[in-house]
Each structure stands twice: as C-alpha cells, then as structure tokens.
Amino acid sequence: VPRNRQDVDRVEKIEEIVRAGERLVRAGGYEALSFSGIAEELGLARGAVYWYFRSKDELFAACAARAIQTALSNPPKRTGYASRIIWAVDQLAAIRPIHTTLQDRARHSKPAATLLQGIQGTLTSQLRELLRPHVTPARLEPVSGAIFVFVQGLLALPLAERERQRHLRFLLRELASDRA
Amino acid sequence: VPRNRQDVDRVEKIEEIVRAGERLVRAGGYEALSFSGIAEELGLARGAVYWYFRSKDELFAACAARAIQTALSNPPKRTGYASRIIWAVDQLAAIRPIHTTLQDRARHSKPAATLLQGIQGTLTSQLRELLRPHVTPARLEPVSGAIFVFVQGLLALPLAERERQRHLRFLLRELASDRA
DNA sequence: ACCTGAACACCGTTCAAGT
DNA sequence: ACCTGAACACCGTTCAAGT
C-alpha cells in the first residue's frame, strides 16, 4: 500500500532528501551517498527518491551544493581582505572531500560540472573584488587569477589549518602588497 | 579446465594486467577500470586477477603509478628551470583525470594515499632543487612550497595548455627572480 | 502526482574445486 | 601456484502496478 504525501509540499520533501544526503556525503563522501541510504533514513522505498532526482549525479550535485552553501554562510564582517579569503578557504577545506569528489566527477557528470563552474565563477569574481583595492589595475587580473589557482591547490592538498594559512599569507604578501 | 601459466613469469603477468589497466583508466578513469574489463582483455576469469591484486584500490594504484611514470619519462634535456617545470606540469595535466581521482581516493584508500605521497614527495624535492639557484636561501622553502601548491591547483583545474603556462610563468617571474 | 516492490545489469569480492 | 565458475552483497536504474 503505497503511502502518499501529496499533502506535503514538494519543496519540503526535496529539502528532506537533500538534508539526509548532505549528512551522508559529509560523513563518508560520494560512496556513502546512496538512494538506499536516503530511502532508509526517510522511510521510503529506494525507487521513490527517483521521483525527485533522476540520477545519482543530480542527487550528489544537490547535496554538494547544499554542503558548500552551508559552509560559506555566516561570513565574519569587518575583517581585512586577507582574513576574508582565509576564512572562505578554511570553510571549504573543512569539506575538502566533497570538493575533491566534485572536481573528479565534473569530468563526466553534467550536474557536477555545472555546480563546480558556478562555484569557481563566484569565487573568482569575489576574489578579484577583494583584491582590487590592493593591486594596481594592470596586475589585478593575473594576480587574482594566480591566487585563485593557488586556492584550488590548497583545497586539493590535505594540509593542516596552520600550513594552509601560512602558505596563503605568504603568497598574498608577495603578490598583493603593491598598493597598501 | 583452468588454464595454467606457471611457465610465464609472474612479473610479466602482472605487467600485462597493469598495461591493460593503464589503458582502461586512461580511457575512462576509475569507473572504466574493472576486474571484468581486464579479465576480458586478457582472456581470464574475473576472479583470476585477484591472484595478483587483492582489491580494486591496489589495482588502481598500480595502474595510476604506471600512467604517471609513463607520463614523466623522457624529460627534455638542456632547458631552463622554468621550461622543465612547465614540461612536467603539462605531462601530468595530460592525465589530469587520473591525478584527480588519485587525490579523491587517497582519503580512504591506503595504496592511493601511499602513491600520492610518493609523487608529491619527489615533486616537492625536485622543485626545490630546480629553484635553488634562482632564489635566495631564506626564501627557498616558502617559494618552492608555494609553487608546489600552485602546481596542484593547475592540475586540479581543467585549463588549456596556454592558460596553464601563462599562469605558471607569471608566478615564477613573481616569486623566483631574485637571483638571476 | 506520488509511492511500492520487484526486476535487471553490473560490479567488487570470496571461495570451493580444479590443474 | 594459478585459474575457473559460481555465489553473495550491494547498488544504480527502470517500471508496472497501486493510491
């Protein structure tokens, strides 16, 4: 006897699924994310989840997006540009496995590619705006580009917070101090 | 009637497996690498490959190691330090999917973690030696560290060869020109 | 529109049985 | 030591049948 939850808002049901998926993917990465796992947590049949996400790629992209959004919410105010960058990198580093998998899956998965592109786009432009007051106009583009690449490297490596910050501060001092 | 190939050298049989695996992993990444696929290519039963590799993690690490080794063989001689670094990065970028997956799997897979650690270790020290003549001693450590991180970023991003080289040349000029 | 339960294909892994 | 063939568990995906 199939249950029916047409009374419950569709958006709310999707929310439930993505929340469960975020937990799973935070705990054990892409592998730990499964239709079975989510169905179990929500008391549904495995197939039911397909009503909302047509593939594991879609499901993963949604859960990863939520995890990243969670990580980058509540940024601290009133701090210097270096601290702001470091904060964002630290937040993303805390969910490094998700970021690494996203990078890996983006090759073949359309939803993953789209998500990653969006993240990198906003990251790039925010970085440029943060750096603009501290770099001469002619150098703004190459400098912010280099720092973006550098940040991707920091996120790819399993560094301790201290090392990450040390590397980042060093590079910022080297590249972005021509306009104090 | 099980075939028997005790006459064939064990090392040679492992070589065959890893060669087949390298092809598969180059073509379609980690997903495309399977015991079934290798067995099929070699005309063996699926279970036979387990006699040589006890898990997919071990198999992947071996195939990835071979792919990387292949990529970095035959380095050009008599070129400047910048060109040497760029050459190595280009070679690794050509097998970016393998590198990305390796980074991703290293989290839970012991063989992947060991391989990645080895690669990064040699990369780090070679980088330091290449830079030594061009950087003041006090700056050698932070500079080569930063360039290493930067290279990881270049390998994480799906850049065109031109962009990759542009980024790398910019950073090298910024960080490593204090000892012409 | 939403959900169930069964089915299918594929895969990693194990293992008893063979040579 | 090496290999086969079958078995098991798990998973992504599909779908006819129900409400």
Rounded distance between C-alpha atoms, residue B20 and residue B41, angstroms = 7
How many CB atoms are closer than 10 A to CB B23? Answer: 17
Whether B144 shows a pLDDT value over 90: the answer reads: yes
- Do B174 and A175 count as a contact with CB atoms less than 8 A apart? yes
Nucleic strand C under 7 Å from the C-beta of B57: yes
Taking one residue from A and the other from B, the number of pairs with CB-CB distance under 8 angstroms is 81
Rounded distance between C-alpha atoms, residue B65 and residue B49, angstroms = 18
Query: What residues of chain A lie within 8 A of the CB of B97, using their CB?
Result: 104, 107
Least reliable range by pLDDT among A22-26, A29-33, A78-82, A96-100: A78-82
Nucleic strand D under 7 Å from the C-beta of A6: no
Question: Is the CB of residue B168 less than 8 Å from the CB of residue B85?
Answer: yes
Mutate to test the interface with A, among B105, B144, B150, B162 (most CBs of A within 10 A): B150
Question: Is the CB of residue A59 less than 8 Å from the CB of residue A33?
Answer: yes
Q: Does B152 touch chain A (CB under 8 A)?
A: yes
Q: Tell me how close the Cα of A156 comes to any Cα of chain B, in angstroms.
A: 7
CA of A155: how far to CAs of A56, B99, B104, in Å?
A: 24, 14, 12
- pLDDT number for residue A6: 64
Contacts of A15 (CB under 8 A, 6+ apart): none
- pLDDT number for residue A1: 41
Per residue in A50-97, pLDDT (tens digit) is 999 999 999 999 999 999 999 999 999 878 999 999 999 999 999 999
Angstrom distance, B36 CA to C10 C1': 10
* Residue B80, both tokens: 């400047």
Question: Is the CB of residue A26 less than 8 Å from the CB of residue A71?
Answer: no
Mean pLDDT of A22-41: 95
Whether B78 shows a pLDDT value over 90: the answer reads: no
Question: Is the CB of residue A162 less than 8 Å from the CB of residue A119?
Answer: no
| pTM score of the predicted model | 0.94
Please tell me which of the candidates B107, B142, B167 has its beta carbon nearest to residue A146: B167
- Do A156 and B154 count as a contact with CB atoms less than 8 A apart? no
Q: Does A146 touch chain B (CB under 8 A)?
A: yes
Rounded distance between C-alpha atoms, residue A148 and residue A154, angstroms = 10
How many CB atoms are closer than 10 A to CB A42? Answer: 15
Angstrom distance, B112 CA to D15 C1': 39
Chain C bases near protein Cβ (<7 Å)? 1-7, 10-19
